[in-house]
Amino acid sequence: MCRHLAWLGRPRSLAALVLEPPSSLLVQSYAPRRQRYGTVNADGWGVGFYAPGRPGPARWRSARPLWGDPSFASVAPVLESGCVVAAVRSATVGMPLEESAAAPFTDGRVLLSHNGRVDRSVLPPVRDAESTVDSALLAALVFDRGLDALAATVAEVGAADPAARLNLLAADGTRLLATTWGDTLSVLVTAEGTALASEPWDDDPAWRDVPDRSLVEVTPDGLTLTPIGEPPA
Ligand code: GLN
């Protein structure tokens, strides 16, 4: 399945966040180290980020592999942001292969990435999904319900589809929210800011694994971790 990451803190270039670390999202697109489902993430990628003076995020997405995007690599060193969500995609069988199916999704205000899969037939009807991919329908549901209901929405969808994997990663420009439900997530807290990532982008021993079925909230004041429902039996 996909790999995603988010950053909240001092502005950093998109190259520093996505391309340059030794096990960056770029490397994870062809050689992930902890991926449980799928082996490469070559079905598209995307990055969304907030810029001063703009209420909504800017996005760059593509249906191509991240390693095949030299134009992005050339501008990424000069694009800087203090709130970023990025993802590389390994499409679930049967899902559309198109730019609009690549995370992060947005309602014009919030960014959301989904690492996992869900049976689309269990999701309540939604308006304005960006694609028919399961992740876009789930994103539209999260946008409808609001970020404060993220854990409740995941618990509800997880109960409706016990085989679902629901690692979500969201940002609104001032905070990050993430869930673990069936896949990996790590967190790195530094003096400059906090990173959340499906897997660490380097071997810094400060990376911590987030337990399964958790809600993580990152604000400029710090990080909180809350269990979602009961742990699996
Ligand atoms: N189900 C989503 C898709 O097909 C996400 C897949 C993933 O996490 N790899 O794009």
pLDDT for the residue numbered 1:
52
Under the banding of pLDDT at 50, 70 and 90, the label for residue 227 is: very high
pLDDT at 75 over 70: yes
Catalytic-residue membership of 2 = yes
Architecture of the 2-227 domain: 4-Layer Sandwich (3.60)
Residue whose Cα lies nearest atom 3 of ligand 1: it is 91
CB 191 within 8 A of CB 117: no
Give residue-wise pLDDT tens across range 117-168: 999 999 999 999 999 999 999 999 999 999 999 999 999 999 999 999 999 9
Handedness of CA 139, 178, 114, 192 (dihedral sign): positive
pLDDT at 228 over 90: yes
Domain residue extents for the chain? 2-227
CA dihedral 69, 37, 184, 151 (to 10 degrees): 100
- Ligand 1 binding pocket (C-beta < 6 A) is 1-2, 38, 89-92, 95, 101, 114-117, 133-135
Helix-strand-coil percent breakdown of the chain, rounded to 5? Answer: 25, 30, 45
- For a ligand 1 pocket test, name from 25, 62, 134 the mutation site with the most ligand atoms within 8 angstroms of its C-beta: 134
Residue-averaged pLDDT of the chain:
95
3-state SS of 150-165?
Answer: HHHHHHHHHHHCCCCE
Under the banding of pLDDT at 50, 70 and 90, the label for residue 39 is: confident
Q: Which atom of ligand 1 has the smallest separation from the CA of 102? A: 10
Give residue-wise pLDDT tens across range 174-222: 999 999 999 999 999 999 999 999 999 999 999 999 999 999 999 999 9
pLDDT at 38 over 60: yes
Nearest to 36 by CA among 2, 73, 87, 79: 2
CA–CA gap between residue 202 and residue 186 (Å, rounded): 11
Q: Quick count: other Cβ atoms within 10 Å of Cβ 216?
A: 20
